Amino acid sequence: MEVMSHSSSFLIPAIPPDQRSSLTYALVVLNQSLPRFVPLLWKHAQLRLCADGGANRVYDELPLLFPHEDALDVRNRYKPDVIKGDMDSIRTEVLDFYTNNGTKIMDESDDQDTTDLHKCVSYICDFAPNLDKSSLCILVAGALGGRFDHEMGNINVLCRFSSIRIVLLSDDCLIHLLPRTHHHEIHIQSSTVGPHCGLIPVGMPSGSTTTTGLEWDLHETEMRFGGLISTSNIVKGEKITVRSDTDLLWTISIKKLQTG
Ligand SMILES: Nc1ncnc2c1ncn2[C@@H]1O[C@H](COP(=O)(O)OP(=O)(O)OP(=O)(O)O)[C@@H](O)[C@H]1O
Ligand SMILES: Cc1ncc(C[n+]2csc(CCO)c2C)c(N)n1
């Protein structure tokens, strides 16, 4: 089975050439308090979207990350390429500002069956039909730590688009899917992430998972809700390997103070 590599180099301000990823990043900003590293993700991304009320966060909160600069200058520097969603949360002044500054507005208020994040991920996949999807990685800012129904909706997007690399981020942690179609190598940049981590079956129990590099490694272990799931685990080395018969969620803490 093919090995899929994962790294969180997008959290490193100046990526050393030997660690530079071959992935093309897209950023989706959700309607939650902006993680402090959004300017970094913005820099790494080639396409930037706001999901509906996410545009309010960029408009209101990005200037607060640059307190010594004029708010309008900051807003003009961080203009999303696209705002997409059912448009029931974006404020009129915010919509007007970005409409007048070249952002593409995509109103999908007719669709009340998919979330705004789902709509944004669909757009990115359609936007880049010729892009090799294995080199696309969608970073989602503000996906965790808020309303539980939204958090579960965001995790469901990982499952609905299981062949696309999507990373859900908050200030405190990140989550992505490890599809069962691959073996996985997770490269840990210990200056930015860890040591707390978890491996969680999603949708169905996992009959057999084997890992290396964790304090509590799994050895052909069964995991299920109501039984064992691996939470409060600790990364021990620079590389974690995971093999499983089902899709798993991988989560790791993000360091508050970046070291190194
Ligand atoms: N508290 C939250 N926690 C996690 N994700 C959130 C939260 N609030 C919003 N989001 C994400 O941001 C996206 C856009 O948010 P927005 O508030 O515009 O959505 P919405 O569809 O109007 O939500 P609702 O009508 O359920 O309040 C949502 O689709 C969701 O993915
Ligand atoms: C069974 C079921 N539950 C909830 C919703 C509501 N809903 C789900 S996504 C969405 C759009 C949010 O921007 C809304 C309103 C539904 N349609 N079907």
| Chain segment 117-157, per-residue pLDDT in tens | 999 999 999 987 667 788 999 999 999 998 999 999 999 99
Question: With contact defined as beta carbons under 8 Å apart, do 138 and 164 qualify?
Answer: yes
Helices (H) and strands (E) in the chain, counts: 6, 15
Question: Which portions of the chain are predicted below pLDDT 70?
Answer: 16-20, 129-130, 257-260
Q: What are the sequence ranges of the domains in the chain?
A: 22-171, 173-260
Maximum distance among all Cα pairs of the chain, rounded to whole angstroms: 57
pLDDT value, residue 133: 83
Among 88, 112, 147, which is best to mutate for testing ligand 2, by the most ligand atoms less than 8 A from CB? 112
CB 114 less than 6 A from any atom of ligand 2: yes
Separation between Cα atoms, residue 29 and residue 105, nearest integer Å: 14
| ipTM of the complex model | 0.91
Contacts of 40 (CB under 8 A, 6+ apart): 10, 11, 13
Structure tokens at 205: 């129990």
Smallest-distance ligand from the CA of 166: 1
CATH superfamily for domain 22-171: Thiamin pyrophosphokinase, catalytic domain (3.40.50.10240)
Strand 136-141, strand 165-169: pairing? parallel
CATH superfamily for domain 173-260: Thiamin pyrophosphokinase, thiamin-binding domain (2.60.120.320)
